[in-house]
Structure 1
């Protein structure tokens, strides 16, 4: 997809299109699965700090991450396989920046109502399952924080702040994009839908490392040193 943007190539093979659909959705669900694992990790660290090392062992961590990848594949494959097996005998122009599932289904020369139901059902399952688990973790964390001293609450909040920020951005944008794709016409104009989809696909992954890294002490010190060097350099250049 990125190479197509850079080289201004607007064509893609049918297998390549469906691979793009699969990985785009599968990786999106996987990221929310990993956010769910991180929420559980924070729950254990805050609510059971003395048992953290015995609970979050290496095998458990691998099992949780593997579960996130398997869950995303299970939620992605059925709708993708159904759309792949449909007949395509009409227009071949996907009205989107990439092979968006709802846009590709508009090219099918058959009834796609079942495909839409399956696709939206798995999307709801993916969003609700991970969302409910994350919410449950933070409800339990909130109950545990209510019994702590103020200093402990602040420390726990700093531990969860970055994750909460990413979760909020990720789920609010995903819910908005899903709401706009429930209909083939959508609730917004076609151009606006594409802009929203691009922001969802590019902005959220861009913000993730920024949000997490700003809590890193070494990164803060590096940014401070860089800004100081630039400031001293420009100050030196204007001395008369």
Structure 2
């Protein structure tokens, strides 16, 4: 449970770093190499991991100290903290508060920083010409797509625990989608700028279209 949540928050920290990187690349391109040095990169990455530990450790310690006297079935695809907390046979109000506060800090702080970066990027793009604007948009498109999928799914999962009579099965489906689909799509989304990948996707789609057209002609011939 600790490592799953820890890595999830770390991923949001890295998305925040990537938003800052794009802000510097678009808004201060001439100073990029002097701002984003190797030392700064290491500090930012260490900060993402430290921030994740801060957001995760206290809630995990509190969950570990709770008594669990049955049932022992977690209604989730993994040991999600909210699902595990429902099995405790003691007062969990403090745990709920700490867990919610940690989730809000982990989601809102990174989300606000990413949003701020893109607001500044948008203001800078408004002063650019069309070619520069399209180039800046292509630089940000993949990252924006990943951020949208990640934060939408995570927010839905956290909000679902605060809604009464919410189906656990639907929550599990969304949580698994959020946990599996986002990392699965990341390399594809980030690689769409690669010309060879785009050409390969185009060839694959063309073969599917050709097969569909051939099948339609065969059906018409038989008819």
| Same fold, judged at TM 0.5 (above) | yes
In structure 2, C-alpha distance between the alignment counterparts of 1:50 and 1:118, rounded to whole Å: 43
Is residue 2:133 matched to residue 1:181? Answer: no
Match of 1:55 in 2: 35
Separation of aligned partners in 1, 2:3 and 2:144: 25
Secondary structure, aligned partner of 2:134: helix
8 Å Cα contact 1:120/1:182 also seen in 2: no
- Retained in 1: the 8 A contact 2:26–2:121? yes
Moved more, 215-224 or 40-49: 215-224
Q: Normalising by the residue count of structure 2, what TM-score does the alignment of the two structures yield?
A: 0.88
Deviation at 1:228, TM superposition (A): 7.8
Name the CA distance, whole Å, in 1 between partners of 2:129 and 2:208.
42
The correspondence for 1:125, drawn from 105, 117, 120, is 105
Q: 1:93 to 1:230 in 2, by over 3 A?
A: closer
Q: What residue in structure 2 maps to residue 33 of structure 1?
A: 13
How far apart are residue 101 of structure 1 and its match? 0.8
Aligned residue pairs, count:
215
Query: In 1, distance between residues paired with 2:207 and 2:64?
Result: 56
Moved more, 218-227 or 133-142: 218-227
**1:229 CA drift (Å):** 8.9
The match for 2:184 is: 206
Cα deviation for residue 225 of structure 1 reads 6.2
**Cα shift at 1:34:** 0.5
How far 1:217 sits from its partner (Å)?
1.8
What residue number does 2:194 align with?
216
Distance 1:231 1:180 in 2: 40
1:44-193 correspondence runs (5 A): 44-182=24-162, 186-193=164-171
Gaps of 5+ in 2: 211-223
- TM-superposed CA distance for 1:126, in Å, is 0.7
What is the aligned-residue RMSD (CA, Å)? 2.3
Q: 4+ residue runs of structure 1 moved beyond 6 angstroms? A: 225-232
> Helix, strand or coil: the match of 1:188?
coil
Q: 1:225-240 to 2 correspondence within 5 Å?
A: none
- Residues 190-218 of structure 1: per-residue CA shift (max 9 Å, x gap): 21111111111111111111111111123
Rate the CA distance shift 1:76–1:114 in 2: closer, same or farther, 3 A.
same
Residue ranges of structure 1 left out of the alignment (5+ in a row): 1-20, 233-240
CA contact under 8 A between 1:145 and 1:153: conserved in structure 2?
Answer: yes
Q: 1:192 to 1:229 in 2, by over 3 A?
A: closer
| C-alpha deviation, 1:219, in angstroms | 2.2
Q: Does the aligned pair in 1 maintain the 2:154–2:175 contact within 8 Å?
A: no
- Decide which moves more: 190-199 or 112-121: 190-199
